[in-house]
Copies of this chain bind each other. A is one copy, B any other.
Amino acid sequence: MRVSLKDVAAHAGVSIKTVSNVVNNYQHVTPAMRERVQRSIDALGYQPNLAARHLRKGRTGIIALALPELGNPYFAELAAAVIDAAAAHDYIVLLDHTGGRREQEILVSQGFRARVIDGLILSPIELEPEDLSDRAEKVPLVLLGERDYDLPYDHIAIDNVAAARTAVRHLTGLGRREVAFIGARRGRSEPAQLRVRGWREELTAAGLPADDGLVAATDGWGHADGAAAMTRILDSGRRPDAVFAYNDPMAIGAMRVLHERGLRVPEDIAVVGFDDVVEGRFGAVTLTSVSPDKEAIGRLAVESVLTRLGGNEVLTEPRRVRADHRLVERESTVGRAAPGGTGQG
């Protein structure tokens, strides 16, 4: 006979709720309690049957998460946050990558996987508002990221314009007068545009140059793209004293080029990235970066899907949720002498 949650609870001498908390991997269980319940689970050979539990409610227990790219550490860290948040509600995550390409994003948003998912979290890059206007599929959709679609779907994002302004203000506050932007995107769709806008607004407000010669567009957002963009700016004859990059890998790629050319960071050129990925904390020069609250984004996205799926909350209007961000100051702007890694923005 199948071992139940109740059997495990009786064996361990704890409540069913406690066993459920352990099985579902909730955070707020003490290690000792986890150990105790785990011993009973092992002794009885209990296997949680999540699929069956969801099927009884007519659900699959699966949320799809569609991201532009997994190779980008920001999205890998975001995926981990979503997976953890989903696990806390017994949900598993079907991960998809769209390559940031419009046709893939349309396929995903139109629900070609609808038979196996209860909801979809999508971080679009090229998707246009009209692509969602006749969405046939009715599973809840939550949007993540830069684009503001003004459509009846919940949308979770940080304030990119404000974040970019904070980064640039940090640089101008350090006395930098010529701040380049690398990572504006080629092509018609521009999630980077909000960050470029913040860059331009802040420089203009400070009476500093924000001309196109200081902006390097790229096709991708990897280290190599950042290196190529930095090379292009230097070869153009411009000599900025600071660089704000669309993301951390691009900033790190740019710093490699500066290193090869014998330019010192931050003495000759200060560098700020975006996303605060782990890698930026361990280079020869640690990277100042805008840090979005990835854990909050993951949690809010999952909660949004589950609320739409019919939780307790009466909710019809789509919600715009702002996740927090802060600036983490490190050696690439404030140098090694200063206390790095704990700055606020």
Contacts and interface: CB of A to CB of B under 8 A. Distances in A.
Interface of A: 38, 41-42, 47-51, 55, 60, 62, 69-71, 73, 76-77, 79-80, 83, 92-97, 103, 107, 110, 112-116, 222-224, 227, 249, 252-253, 255-256, 259, 278-279, 281-286
A113 to B, nearest CB: 6
A256 B227 contact: no
Contact of A282 (B71, B253, B286): B253
B284 A51 contact: no
Given A76-B71, A110-B47, A112-B48, A256 B278 contact: no
Contacts of A249: 278-279, 282
A47 B107 CA distance: 7
Complex A-B, nearest 4 residue pairs according to Cβ-Cβ distance, in ascending order: A284-B284, A95-B95, A223-B282, A256-B282
A186 to B, nearest CB: 15
Contacts of A114: 51
Contacts of A252: 279, 282-283
Given A70-B83, A223-B278, 17 more contacts: A38-B103, A47-B110, A50-B112, A51-B112, A51-B113, A51-B116, A62-B116, A70-B79, A71-B77, A71-B278, A92-B113, A93-B94, A223-B282, A224-B282, A249-B282, A252-B282, A256-B282
Contacts of A55: 115
B97 A51 contact: no
Nearest to A226: B282
A123 to B, nearest CB: 15
Contacts of A285: 284
Nearest to A134: B45
A72 to B, nearest CB: 8
Contacts of A278: 71, 222-223, 249
Nearest to A115: B51
A247 to B, nearest CB: 13
Nearest to A258: B284
Nearest to A65: B95
A298 to B, nearest CB: 12
Contact of A284 (B79, B94, B279, B283): B283
A112 B283 contact: no
* Residue among A70, A77, A223 with the highest chain B CB neighbour number at 10 A: A70
A94 B50 CA distance: 15
A122 to B, nearest CB: 15
Nearest to A136: B47
A272 B171 CA distance: 35
A189 to B, nearest CB: 16
